[in-house]
Structure 1
Amino acid sequence: MAMRQTPLTCSGHTRPVVDLAFSGITPYGYFMISACKDGKPMLRQGDTGDWIGTFLGHKGAVWGATLNMDATKAATAAADFTAKVWDAVSGDEVLTLAHKHIVKSVNFTQDSTCLLTGGNDKVLRIYDLGKPEADPHEFPGHTSAIKKALWCNDDKQILSAADDKTVRLWDRNSTDAVKTLSFDSSPSSMELVDGEILVITYGKTIAFYNALSLDLIKTVEAPTSISSASLHPDKDFLVAGGDDFKLYKYDYSTLEELESYKGHFGPVHTVRFSPDGELYASGSEDGTLRLWQTAVGKTYGLWKCVLPEELVSETTDPVYNSTPVDIKA
């Protein structure tokens, strides 16, 4: 008998949730950060959604957020023309990096010594976090706002997706664009899985590329305009969400749609698998984050009990962390 998905709902944000990211697996489990238009990014325990703290200091919508692998540092990209680096353990702001326009994307190198940023001023920048007063390394070339920028190839190269309908691969040392992919609409999201597979969404298309050669592997067409897609760490499944409030799950090898269900009360802006692949998180225009089980009915995190379907009320939707308290008043 098919089990019904019972998501854990993480409330606390007051505006649309536009980006989320997981840390790697640490001795304390793994963690999740969410970016929200309320300007108050939140840190949570990844497997339960339990609220840990809120990073206070931005004066505008936060468009991008990330954690380093061991969840000791966080970085955020915001509409106040800054990127900020935070101590993710204490919640303290470590650095503010001033930009010339809205910042949309932040990404740490594997060793957490450098931060890559991108945004509406169309320039990629690398900041050396050990020398924050030094001028950043700049990569001009995009002709519209940059949506997402990621390190790849052991931090020797950079991938960027922009509203000029391109995804570009850059050489870190020469600052040259090595390769450009062009699309018929702006890429809405980009994810790098295991440094090998690049997941790009544009329009209703979810496309998979070899991350090093940028050769197309396969695409799948969804029934709605897709804002974000994520590939399971074992590359078994992918999930996607977009304009029709639904979440879609596909088999990666056959691209068959396995399930779809209404996940939120507004468009889905971001979806990501956890580092252990046991769950995926979604963030929406409705101001919530939801956690979903990859294997429904498995005892994991706060999903303790397995009830026959007829005993699960249609209204069962546990809400945790309904009243978060800020780290710093």
Structure 2
Amino acid sequence: MTIVKDTKDTKTGTTDALKRFTPLTCTGHSRPVPHVSFTATTTASSPFPVLMISSCKDGNPIIRDGITGDWLGTLIGHKGSVWCSKFSRAGFDGGLARWAVSASGDFSARVWSISNSKNNNAKKGDSLDGDGMNGGQEIGSIVAELVHPHIVRSVDFAPHTDHWVVSGGQDGKVRLWKLDLDHTQDSEGGQMILEWDHVSNNGNPESKKMPMVRTVLWLTENLILTIGDDKVARLWQVTSLSTTTSEPEPVGVKLVDSVVMANNTDTMVACGLFEITHVCVNGQLLPFIVGTVGKTIYTLAVNDNENSTPKLQVVSKFTVDYKLSCASISPNGQLVLTGSSDDTWVRVYRVCEPLVAESRSSSSNTLNVMKVADNNTWLKQIDLWKGHHGPIHCIVFNPLWEYGPPGATGEAAFGVGSVATSSEDGTVRLWKLGHGSYGLWQ
């Protein structure tokens, strides 16, 4: 069913019309779902091309097939709300991420085994915690418990190794952890190597309360981004990270850049989720950090030139007339979706001023020079999705996007894919975008 007038852009050949498909509803949680994330695999023959993990205030993250939403396993062990969960990105076992990490209100982050390299016989229909996938050995078991002094709100694996995790939380601290995944050392599977303040005394020497760290993102081998309730994004550079299980070398960290996104004294402006989204720009997948502060959607990028200090750049920002909780940009760079804390709808925007990379580093996929989108004409609302029964907490596009052929225009250029939304209503919904078959949508 077409839900907007089919108006064609004479420059790009695209239309504003989107075809609406029935979303898939993923149940199983008993409380609100604050976060959802995907992992892409490196093996085309994997039985699960993409895995999805949802975090819930019931304390039990759920892993699903990222295409169909089918339940694969529940990670049981936390005694408090789980605010964030991520998959490992460096090591893949037969196409599956080997580990997951979760951040919880029980003052801990836990690392879970979700794959077993000793017996890789996974097939469609198997579950993560039964007798199917990989023989059911150690699947869903806790391999490391990272004890914190306060609530943990965000975690992430290093992109280049499974042996390092970064965490941030309620106490305003950022912590680096070295994992002993094979338990060769006498430890609980992980050791804190370094901790530092996201900001010193909230900018006020007399203040004893530190702003909560809402987001930690490990961007490249030596760059970490933190975003807190002070509405400031800070880029940190870490050094001397050992990727082996031997005794770690001394690790250092320094602040290299920051971006102030709102006045810290304005308590009415809330900081929402920020996530990494890889967008196809000029035929290359490039990383952007997309999130919300108050009523503004921010897109950030890192200008990482080998001959200079890395810099954070605001690529675009767009202000709306409602309170935002989350936002995400589609892998094809043509759509932006937003969620709000004031209603239950997902708003869909067409990108009118595409993000354009003018040059990039030869040794990494971070950007050198970025053309800034026009903040006044960047987005145009074209749709409103209804279906959730509570405010939207997280929106994440499935990275397995099927792009249109080179030189294609219109519908063929858009491609086809899906996006996940999580809500206060305790569900995750998968929505299809584009034309053609995709997963269960035919």
User: Please, what TM-score do these two structures have when normalized by structure 2?
Assistant: 0.65
Instruction: Work out whether residues 228 and 271 of structure 1, in 8 Å CA contact, stay in contact via their aligned partners in 2.
Output: yes
- Name 2:370's counterpart in structure 1: none
Confirm whether residue 203 of structure 1 aligns to residue 294 of structure 2. Answer: yes
CA gap of 1:223–1:301, structure 2 versus 1, over 3 A, is farther
> Which of 125, 147, 150 pairs up with 1:101?
150
- Name 2:365's counterpart in structure 1: none
Confirm whether residue 276 of structure 1 aligns to residue 302 of structure 2. Answer: no
Partner SS, residue 303 of structure 1: coil
- Name 1:250's counterpart in structure 2: 349
- Name 2:319's counterpart in structure 1: 221
Confirm whether residue 14 of structure 1 aligns to residue 30 of structure 2. Answer: yes
- Name 2:15's counterpart in structure 1: none
Q: How does 1:81-96 map to 2 (within 5 A)?
A: 81-89=107-115, 90-96=139-145
CA gap of 1:68–1:135, structure 2 versus 1, over 3 A, is closer
| 1:106 Cα deviation after fit | 1.0
Instruction: Work out whether residues 283 and 289 of structure 1, in 8 Å CA contact, stay in contact via their aligned partners in 2.
Output: yes
- Name 1:316's counterpart in structure 2: none
> Which of 158, 166, 169 pairs up with 2:232?
166
| 1:299 Cα deviation after fit | 1.6
Confirm whether residue 79 of structure 1 aligns to residue 105 of structure 2. Answer: yes
| 1:251 Cα deviation after fit | 2.2
- Name 1:177's counterpart in structure 2: 255
Identity rate, percent: 36
- Name 2:204's counterpart in structure 1: none
Q: Deviations for 1:89-133, whole angstroms, at most 9, x for unmatched residues?
A: 311111110001000111011222211111011111111113645
Q: Deviations for 1:11-39, whole angstroms, at most 9, x for unmatched residues?
A: 11000000010011342310000000000
Q: Which has the higher contact order (CA 8 A, sep 6+)?
A: 1
Instruction: Work out whether residues 166 and 186 of structure 1, in 8 Å CA contact, stay in contact via their aligned partners in 2.
Output: no
Larger Cα-atom Rg: 2
Deviates more, 1:66-75 or 1:273-282: 66-75
- Name 2:191's counterpart in structure 1: 134
Partner SS, residue 175 of structure 1: strand
Structure 1 residues without counterparts, runs of 5 or longer = 305-329
Instruction: Work out whether residues 175 and 192 of structure 2, in 8 Å CA contact, stay in contact via their aligned partners in 1.
Output: no
Instruction: Work out whether residues 245 and 262 of structure 1, in 8 Å CA contact, stay in contact via their aligned partners in 2.
Output: yes
Instruction: Work out whether residues 24 and 68 of structure 1, in 8 Å CA contact, stay in contact via their aligned partners in 2.
Output: no
Structure 2 residues without counterparts, runs of 5 or longer = 3-18, 116-138, 200-209, 240-251, 263-268, 279-285, 304-310, 355-377, 402-416
Deviates more, 1:43-52 or 1:129-138: 129-138
The count of corresponding residues between Structure 1 and Structure 2 is 302
Confirm whether residue 121 of structure 1 aligns to residue 188 of structure 2. Answer: no
Partner SS, residue 256 of structure 1: strand
Runs of 4+ in structure 1 deviating by more than 3 angstroms, as ranges, are 131-135
> Which of 215, 231, 243 pairs up with 1:148?
215
Partner SS, residue 84 of structure 1: strand
